[in-house]
Amino acid sequence: MLDKPASALRIRERLLESERLMEETGCYDGITELHLRNQDPLKFETLHTKLRAYCVSAREMARRISASPGVREVGEMVVAIYTPEGDAIALSNGIMVHVHTMSRFIKWMIRNGYEENPRIRDGDIFANNDAFIGTVQVPDVMDVVPIFHSGKLVGWAGAVCHELEAGGITPGGDVALAQERFTEGLFVCAEKVGENDELRRDYVIRCERNLRMPIYWVLDEKAKVASCIDMRESVKGLIDEIGLDYWMQVSKEFIEEGRRAQLARTRQLTVPGIYRGHTFYGHVTKGKPGYQPLGDPDWLYNMPIEMEITSDGKIIMDFEGTQPWGYHSMNCTPAGMDGGMFVTLTQHMNFEGLVNDGAWMATELKLPAGTWTNPDNEMVATATSWALLLPAYGVFQRLLSRSFIARGFVEEAFVGQVNSPMIEMGGQSQYGTPFGMAHFECAAAGSGALAIKDGLDTAYVGWNPESDMGNIEIWEQNMPMLYIGRSIVPNSGGAGKYRGGCSFLSTWLVSKTDHLRLVTSEHSSRVFDNGGLCGGYPAPTCQKHRAVRDSNIFELAENGAPLAHHTGTNPYRSELEVRLEGEHVTLEGPYITAPHKTGDVFTHSYNGGGGYGDVLERDPVKTAWDVENGFLTKEAAEGIFGIVLDEDEEGFPVANIEATKRHRADMRAKRLARARPVSEWIAKERERVKAADFAPEVKKMYASAIKLSPRFTRDFSTFWDVDAKSTFGVE
Amino acid sequence: MTSYSKEVIADLVAGTLPWPQTRRIMSAYKDDDRFFKYVAVLQDRVGWKDPILLPVGDHLFICQSGDERVTKCECGHSFGDYRKNWKLKAAIIVRDSEESLREIYPNSDLPDPDWMEIREFICPECGTLHEVEAAAPGYPIVHDFEPDLEGLYRDWLGKPLVSSNKGG
Ligand SMILES: [Zn+2]
């Protein structure tokens, strides 16, 4: 088809044609043969490598233009090159979740007649952060520019940054308090924000007047535009070399090859069949200031996932049975769900070969209408959709991992991602100016364990494979708080033969301000929002907030007395309570409260990952090392893992292998004595189910799932041998 | 084509392969002959003769046991027909109180037992902890995995299973 000129169709018709061809042939854009690849595989691979290099270098350049520590320090950015129809051909590293959300944004403009009005012309810049058009949450602002060659639209270049401030009802980007779209902040809805490669002055003014900290957003816009122009010019140069017809064909073959590679990888690494798992999320806001009484304040979310791997290698994920959308900021759009799938696949399966939208095309998401995964109301807020997305895709990672274990690729099995509790802030900065910022050190949680080793400590998040917590000094430049501690939390990884990676906790002294608003989100209350695998336990992910108002810390410092640098390991009396005087606060759920001021102390803890395998098989020598380095306590080593530690002459822990064997034999015997047959437990538990003897939020969870899902109703009724509907009073 | 010795696969599975070597395996193209070597390694490890057809957990295997295909613990305990949820034949410890949760979570904030419990599924014979569920009270026990065993062998491994009278 090399003689076929760049399509003369208008782009909207071209998009529909492309979709029709995919429908008819099962191959991307009707590409049933990879002619160019077969003709000259070396040229084919080299070209894709070049495109990827354009993306990586454009992103690195842009990071140096950006003013935001989110982009500069922790790399909250991704860029990609698209076909004219908006399918990703090549992408950079970074927050890859957005490669496919941007694809949705481009297609949305095409479908909505942007060719006629506002027109798509060379030099135009389009921006979007509307999740129903194509992003995850309001701070994920994307910019795309069309690529024209010889007067024809031949592709798009796009870039996304996660903004640290979005101008919502609470400061930061993950606007925790947003209960509807109208409180989420500044929306740019597939808007033409620039022409002739320049951002419009009126757009910049709108940003400057609607954000608490416009410098982040505005300079990030410039960084994104620069990276898009850079990629555009590189692609145009490449087309000059290889010819327009070759480009139009090869870009599609790249995607079709990506699709085929994903299917082949699934057949190579996994086992066909049905996989199931679930996790939960507790949303507790009762009595918190600022919440409007639009719905129930407290909610328990169940997130069941059924994954099918078909014999041709397609992965289908089904969220049937989960909860409805709500008046909170944790809803997610199909675009966000796509993004979560995409970033997980690129990390777990698509780690070689051509990483692009082809991988996404080899999968299918079933998102029941009306649930948080696919709200049937476009007024809902999605500012903290990660709160539910991360736990859900952690389940996906565990389901995939079971397939890797079954197939023998144990080195790829991974207990998965956990939630990223985020702290955001605003008010008066240490410089006496208004400010607002999301603190992104949450980009370094503990990872789930692997099937062959412990998880990564403070070094992984699902949404950005290039995890980084950023330097303390940089964060301190951007907020009126000083670090008095940043420490590993002992026992914060899920227990197991291989433990989950540990999390860390930061302790700050509020400094040089009398008005600091602190807000947190994405941490589950009352329930674990992660899990273990093959006998491993979930990590402890239902942490509360601890703070001290009007502390005597300056007095202590003056006297050279010890300060609190972390919360310690006593769950009933924290180090803050031991060391500091003042008004001690312990709060569950989102931290939404009156402003803080100089002299207050605040702590925030992140999440560790889930464990793998039976705790009684954990390596005693590694455990001694863990205790020595603060990842586990001696008490946990003995009490949970059955590992007896002695001390050497210098006081370092050493495993006592013989005593460990004896202790473990005893623990195993006690375990067996304590356990009872599952059938017995089911019989007894059934009485409780029949009586619906549960907390109100648990009952509400069941009623909501039953109302929305025939399958959940059927499964529940069958398992307990009850009528689920009448049990929970559902009509 | 990438291929590793049975000894390397055995060390990899046991978690004893040196990290630099493991890392190279992770980064390299995958070895297409992995599955049968892996099964051979596991078959050597277990103390029984029933052929392993598919590992489904760290110490859980679907195997051919006479005419039947069953889920078996590494110790030899059978949980019955592999198409049924093995958890229903297991022993269980449920942690639904602050005291029992505290045993596993010594220094963190605990889940609310009214909202969440920990369920440990244990082999009634050897006491191995095979799977942990964190679930709301009343949540049905999950059937983790229903493999398409026949399809795997026939379509993906190219070695169709000899048909079995039961559990096929
Ligand atoms: Zn056993």
Identify the CA nearest to A89 among candidates A235, A204, A187. Answer: A235
Query: Residue type for B107, please?
Result: N
How high is the mean pLDDT of chain B?
95
Residue type, A701: M
The confidence score (pLDDT) of residue B165 equals 53
Contact with chain A for residue B28, Cβ under 8 A: no
Considering only the C-alpha atoms of chain B, give the largest distance between any 2 of them, rounded to a whole number of Å: 54
Give the domain range for residue B28: 1-45
Do residues B61 and B54 lie in contact, with contact meaning Cβ atoms separated by under 8 Å?
yes
Question: What is the model's pLDDT at position B11?
Answer: 98
Q: What is the mean pLDDT of residues B79-104?
A: 98
In a domain, B32, yes or no: yes
Contacts of B142 in chain A (CB under 8 A): 276-278
Q: How is residue A208 written in tokens?
A: 């400057």
Task: Name A136's Cβ contacts closer than 8 Å, sequence gap at least 6.
Answer: A97, A98, A101, A332, A333, A335, A336, A339, A340, A382, A385, A386, A389
pTM for the whole structure: 0.96
On whether any CB of chain A is under 8 Å from the CB of B100, the answer is: no
Whether B159 is covered by a domain: the verdict is no
Q: Are residues A113 and A206 in the same domain?
A: yes
Query: What span, in angstroms and rounded, lies between the C-alpha atoms of A402 and B131?
Result: 12
What are all long-range contacts of A671-675, with beta carbons under 8 Å and residues at least 24 apart? A671/B93, A671/B122, A671/B127, A671/B129, A672/B91, A672/B122, A672/B124, A672/B127, A674/B93, A675/B91, A675/B92, A675/B93, A675/B120, A675/B122, A675/B124, A675/B127
Is A237 part of a structural domain of the chain?
yes
- Tokens representing A305 are 């996932």
| Residue A470: other Cβ atoms inside 10 A | 20
* A542 neighbors B109 (Cβ within 8 angstroms): yes
Question: And the tokens for A563?
Answer: 């300060």
For A274, which of B90, B128, B146 is closest by C-beta distance? B146
Q: What is the pLDDT of residue A466?
A: 81
Query: Which pLDDT belongs to residue A66?
Result: 84
Encode B15-52 in three state secondary structure. Answer: CCCCHHHHHHHHHCCCCCCHHHHHHHHHHHHCCCCCCE
Q: Is the pLDDT of residue B166 over 80?
A: no
Residue B18 is assigned to a structural domain of this protein: yes
Predicted pLDDT of residue A357: 85
Count of structural domains within chain B: 1
Interface check for A242 against chain B (CB to CB < 8 A): the answer is: no
In which band, very low, low, confident or very high, does the pLDDT at B167 lie, cut at 50, 70 and 90?
very low
B157 close to A (CB below 8 A): no
Share of residues in chain B with pLDDT > 70 (%): 96
- pLDDT score for A8: 55
Whether A332 maps to a domain, the answer reads no
Structure tokens at A569: 């390991």
Cα separation, B112 vs B98, in Å, equals: 8
Residue A616 DSSP class: G
State the ipTM, two decimals: 0.97
Residue A339 lies in a domain: no
Q: Are residues A635 and A708 in the same domain?
A: no
> Is residue A343 in some structural domain?
no
Whether the Cβ atoms of residue A481 and residue A435 lie closer than 8 Å to each other: no
Structure confidence at residue B148 (pLDDT): 98
Domain boundary among A548, A583, A605: A605
Percent of chain B past pLDDT 90, that is, above it, reads 95
| Four-point Cα dihedral A16, A21, A23, A25, nearest 10 | 180
For residues A670 and A682, membership in a common domain is answered with: no
- Domain tally, chain A: 4
- How many residues are recorded in chain A? 731
A134 belongs to a structural domain: yes
Chain B contact for A622 (CB, 8 A cutoff): no
Which pLDDT value is given to residue A3?
38
Q: Please identify, among A216, A241, A260, the residue that sits at the C-terminal boundary of a domain.
A: A260
In tens, the pLDDT along A657-709 reads 999 999 999 999 999 999 999 999 999 999 999 999 999 999 999 999 999 99
Residues 654-683 of A with CB under 8 A from B: 668-669, 671-672, 674-679, 681-682
Touching check for A614 and chain B: CB below 8 Å?
A: yes
Domain end call among A195, A227, A260: A260
Q: How many CB atoms lie within 10 A of CB A62?
A: 25
- The A residues from 150 to 179 touching B (CB cutoff 8 Å) are none
Residue A376 covered by a domain: no
Same-domain check for residues A479 and A548:
yes
Report CA(B77)–ligand 1 centroid distance (Å).
5
Q: What integer pLDDT is reported at residue A4 of this predicted model?
A: 41
Rounded CA-CA distance A190/A209 in Å is 20
- The answer to whether residue A378 sits within a structural domain is no
d(CA A235, CA A148): 10
Ligand 1 geometric centre to CA of B76 (Å) = 6
Residue ranges making up the domain that contains A410: 271-312+385-605
Residues 35-54, chain B, touching A (beta carbon < 8 A): 35, 37-39, 54
| Shared-domain flag, residues A93 and A162 | yes
Same domain, A541 and A561: yes
Q: Is residue A366 part of a domain?
A: no
> CB atoms < 10 A from the CB of A649, how many?
6
| A570 and A701 part of one domain | no
Please answer yes or no on whether B132 and A535 come within 8 Å at the CB atom: yes
Three-state DSSP at A686 gives helix
Q: Which residue has the tokens 């690129």?
A: A346
From residue A257, alpha-carbon distances to A35, A46, A86, B31 in Å are 11, 14, 17, 21
Do A247 and A157 share a structural domain?
A: yes
| Sites in chain A below the pLDDT cut of 50 | 1-6
| The pairing of beta strand B68-73 with beta strand B60-65 | antiparallel
**Cα dihedral: A91, A96, A101, A107 (round 10):** 10
> Is residue B36 included in any domain, yes or no?
yes
